[in-house]
Amino acid sequence: MPKPTRPERRAYALLVEHGITRPPIPIDDLARKLGARLSFEAFSSNISGLLYRDGLNVTMAINSSHATTRQRFTIAHEIGHLLLHEGPMFVDKAMRIDRRDDNAALGTAPEEIEANGFAAALLMPAHMVIGMLTQLSRANATADEIIAALAHGFSVSSQAMEYRLVNLGLLEPH
């Protein structure tokens, strides 16, 4: 398994700080505990969400037309911006993922790459994924069945879970 990055270490510290020990991660509650006001808005389909800071006031606007699993990832992504990056505003656009290599699903800006890594580590912490994966592996299930079961257990999309497993070195890319 690769060495944890700065965003992964920060996500893990946040879980420990709030006593979160099992999935699914209560991401809405966590955002609110960090002082963010969540607003679900019907943006155009290419906008996933945004983070706006005005002094001590923090608003996370999430695209209400996206799937719940996508909304959860967007909230985690915005928490990443909140904790890792300076700046009054971040607007995050949805991306289509066509391939599974080291550059897939990553924004081109370093801040977007970090926020995506943070979100993945927050919603799918490595130690929790490995623990559940170990249990599922004993059930003699196929890779697709394991990915689906993990995605369900962590309340994320199968695509996000597959990508996380690849990044953790637990699954070969397709």
**For residue 92, what are its two tokens?**
């995050």
The string of pLDDT tens digits covering residues 125-141 is 999 999 999 888 888 88
The string of pLDDT tens digits covering residues 16-34 is 999 999 999 999 999 999 9
Q: What integer pLDDT is reported at residue 67 of this predicted model? A: 95
Q: What integer pLDDT is reported at residue 139 of this predicted model? A: 80
Q: What integer pLDDT is reported at residue 107 of this predicted model? A: 52
Q: Is the CB of residue 102 less than 8 Å from the CB of residue 84?
A: no
**Domain locations in the chain as residue ranges:** 6-97+107-167
Three-state SS string over 21-46 comes to CCCCCCHHHHHHHCCEEEEEECCCCC
Q: What integer pLDDT is reported at residue 17 of this predicted model? A: 98
Question: Of 174, 116, 121, 118, nearest to 147 (Cα)?
Answer: 174
Q: In the chain, which residue ranges form alpha helices assigned H by DSSP?
A: 6-17, 27-33, 68-84, 110-123, 126-137, 143-154, 158-167
User: Which residues of the chain carry a pLDDT beneath 50?
Assistant: 96-106
**For residue 94, what are its two tokens?**
């949805």
- How far is the CA of 68 from the CAs of 8, 11, 62, 64, 153, in angstroms? 23, 21, 10, 8, 14
